[in-house]
Amino acid sequence: MKFFVDTADIAAISELNDLGIVDGVTTNPSLIKKSGRDILEVTKEIAALVDGPVSAEVVATEASAMIAEGRKLAAIADNIAIKLPLTWDGLKACKALSTEGHMINVTLCFSANQALLAAKAGATFISPFIGRLDDINLDGMELIADIREIYDNYGFETQILAASIRTVNHVSDAAKIGADVMTAPPEVIKKLAQHPLTDAGLAQFLKDAESAGIKIV
């Protein structure tokens, strides 16, 4: 499974990227707003920092305007993935921009039918939102499984990008189902390394080492 970082925080991306676990970055207007910086400026900096795809989202809602914005975003760097909403106009823009050879991340997916349409329109990534489905008492993982089955049935190359990940269980569950990519905030990715038994074991080792007078210089 590829790990994308869902943030526009350069310092957070750099820290994780130094560990070699960053395969890409996803951003959106809300995340850019939190950074307090110009969207083109921060997107360019992120794209230069990581080797993998960097999703940059359009803010237009009409197809021709999405296409124009998408081309402007794609011009920032070769690893930009244009992020489009899963609307009818978004699908039109996806078809046009993917035909031009651009990477496309179709976002705000909440049904298998939507994912099927995005794949047929040439999407590079489809982003089903797990957490937001869970918020309304629907099973986000069931959607991931449905999309995986449909894509495998017909050989679609669109990658399933599990998004709106809120917990470490979301990550492992999506991985078991076969999501190609997951994107999560830095704090969720860091929590993947945590386990109470690891903490307890380390505490015991340190206690024993101190009692035995063990020091490694």
Per-residue pLDDT tens over the stretch 1-26: 999 999 999 999 999 999 999 999 99
Answer with the residue of higher pLDDT: 215 or 175: 175
pLDDT at position 147: 98
Quick: pLDDT tens for 27-72: 988 888 777 788 889 999 999 999 999 999 999 999 999 999 999 9
| Structural domains in the chain, sorted by start | 2-211 (3.20.20.70)
Residue 194: what pLDDT? 94
- What DSSP element (H or E) covers 55? strand 54-57
Catalytic residues: 83
Tokens 């957070």 sit on residue: 12
| Res 35: pLDDT | 76
Confidence of residue 205 (pLDDT cuts 50, 70, 90): confident
pLDDT, average across residues 153-177: 97
Task: Give me the pLDDT at residue 13, please.
Answer: 96
Position 169 scores a pLDDT of 96
> Mind giving me the DSSP string for 78-130?
TTEEEEEESSHHHHHHHHHHHHTT-EEEEEEE-SHHHHHHHHHTT-SEEEEBH
pLDDT at res. 211? 84
pTM assigned to the model: 0.93
Q: 94-137: per-residue pLDDT in tens? A: 999 999 999 999 999 999 999 999 999 999 999 999 999 999 99
pLDDT at 67: 98
Instruction: Decide if 9 contacts 36 (C-beta within 8 A).
Output: no
